[in-house]
Structure 1
């Protein structure tokens, strides 16, 4: 935490410009949209048919500790994302929801191979989502919000289509797709199974992140970096296992942790999601606090907004409440994320200098003005009392 005392209010957290690097499209649907599309497409497998009750069911299932129930949540969202219109709608609403929450840049990931049951081709899936994001950006602009959304195409690590999806990401890299990812259960499905995809992407000078260090620990992180050459770590929270904190407070970094910090490898940390998957027992115990102090390239993310009942504002709200983070801390995390985005350097720099820093400067000035007004009021009241 910085020495600045500008602790943001809930409203300031919402209005602060934020950058999101780790968000799943199929984990962020509006409950009402799920119900609408299910009705339109004839899907009758939903556990609830009222928006509020369905939203509660998703959160409870994700919090249940049952992997079976957690995976069931995605079976429902994917089931209603099998047509062009559905994908377009979900993507457009995703952009709108993020923009309303103060997100100015987002990279949203999804697995095209999971949206083919309605007869769409992989290309048609990507085109529908890209068009939806553009429509969402347009609607957000009309509502007075600014956002840019890039897509990350995800391959499932238990399947055998990683190279095909990597080629798809490269094909659409100038049409809204900014990179590649692999996701799915880490244990038993190492990223090294998909080396052909990563080698292809490196030859094409393309970007990729890898889900690693969420459930499986340090070996997953090591493989993602040293065997595959990942640009970022999806989660990466288990890097804490290579950091020792002694009783006297001294800290020792292992060689892998030192490498991650020294090479400025971005960590796509998702605090609330990590609590659900038992990667941390509480916000206070979440490694993000120590990683911030040690100045790792830490970023704040949502993972699955529907299942976690979260947003970027809620994630930052938890951190502000727990660690007493200030607007300076929020800006630090946000600039970290923007530096780590998969768009060209000059465009990242423009977002930092023209959008993020001015946005935080305005909020800090607002906070100082209110603080000064409060102090003047207290002084005035005190003078009247003494008189």
Structure 2
């Protein structure tokens, strides 16, 4: 049953700032890619990569699922298909601005280089633009910490190159991957280089407990433009010198990307009500509701807004404000931000009409 609040969440224009390419697919798209890949790799036909409602796995298991997905999406066709379909799926959910993040991969057996990987994504974006799809899309090439420092350096150089080749499509980079691998502070030189190259930083920080030292060092040396998850930013043992983490995040007003269903299903929060969104919302801190991986975690952005409203007793006006303010946290140009704000203003009255 579609409640009035969920319908409102479906109707309002939205911004999606934390969507990973390889986990944001629809079931239909992934099944198509699975069937295609099974013709040459029969072992993939029984892959199950979704977490149903009520299912919860550790963050470690979630990363295992991502590896399974990479085995299926390993050539130009699959990367194009993923990107193209994901854009259409988000557009169908009234997402008007989308940033897709993905690690550019060198996959010789699939005929892909890191550069052609990103070029393929942009090709799909341009095709959607040619169809006049009502959504603005950008790419954030990802530094996967698990792939090491050498690949991180390559990724930053490539991000700059692609940003110059396709102006307006690559406004920043993402830092993600399994937080149990390497020390995030080792990547600071590459964050600094990206900044020097004019790229914004969206960094996964404090996704798990007991990595406060790397978070503090990154915040002090290479301030991110947005923080992904930030689950444990405010959860540290007092007296160990990590209070400065909160001071920096609050003082600099660094926007936080919150992914409620993802955090619940990967067991980094006990419930929607216990999610750290509530802590930061009470402080009126900049934050945006996101999906993370709508395919793996089975959540539309509209669902995430509705879950947030229910868990924290937000009304329609507060949800609208949450969506509207997210425009300021995008990595696009000021001109495009104004364009988005004008679109929101035109749509507001119709969204607040009570629908039977």
State the TM-score, normalized to the length of structure 2.
0.87
Any unmatched runs of 5+ in structure 2? none
Off by >4 Å, runs of 4+ in structure 1: 114-117, 137-140
Q: How far apart in 2 are the matches of 1:181 and 1:156? A: 8
Cα displacement (A) at 1:226: 1.4
Distance apart, 1:326 and its partner CA: 1.9
Q: Which of 140, 162, 168 is residue 152 of structure 1 equivalent to?
A: 140
Distance 1:10 1:255 in 2: 38
Q: In structure 2, do the counterparts of structure 1 residues 117 and 193 end up closer, same or farther at CA, with 3 Å as the change threshold?
A: farther
Number of equivalent positions:
343
Cα pair distance change 1:328/1:237, threshold 3 Å: farther
Q: How does 1:134-283 map to 2 (within 5 A)?
A: 134-139=126-131, 141=133, 146-159=134-147, 160=149, 161-174=151-164, 175=166, 176-216=169-209, 217-241=211-235, 254-283=243-272
CA–CA distance in structure 1, aligned partners of residues 72 and 53 of structure 2: 18
Residues 1:314 and 2:303 aligned together? yes
Decide whether the 8 Å contact of 1:237 with 1:267 is kept in 2. Answer: no
- State the 1:262 CA deviation: 2.4
RMSD across aligned C-alpha pairs, in angstroms? 2.7
- Given that residues 37 and 86 in structure 1 are in contact (C-alpha distance below 8 angstroms), is that contact kept between their aligned partners in structure 2? yes
Q: In the alignment, is residue 358 of structure 1 matched against residue 343 of structure 2?
A: no
CA-CA distance at 1:192 after TM superposition:
1.8
Q: Which range is displaced more, 65-74 or 166-175?
A: 65-74
Aligned-residue offset at 1:105: 0.3
Partners of 1:108 and 1:152 within 8 A in 2: yes
Residues 229 and 117 of structure 1: CA distance in aligned 2, closer, same or farther (over 3 Å): farther
Counterparts of 2:106 and 2:61 in 1: how far apart (Å)?
18
User: How big is the shift at 1:334?
Assistant: 1.8
Match of 2:93 among 86, 101, 107: 101
Contact (CA 8 Å) 1:243, 1:257: kept in 2 or not? no
| TM-score normalised over the length of structure 1 | 0.81
What is residue 83 of structure 2 aligned with on the other side? 91
- Bigger CA radius of gyration: 1
State the distance in 1 between where 2:288 and 2:250 align.
13
- Measured in 1, the distance between the counterparts of 2:232 and 2:349 equals 34
Q: Distance in 1 between matches of 2:303 and 2:213?
A: 31
Q: Is the 8 A contact 1:283 1:322 kept in 2?
A: yes
Cα distance change, pair 17–170 in 1 and its aligned pair in 2 (3 A)? same
Partner of 1:333: 322
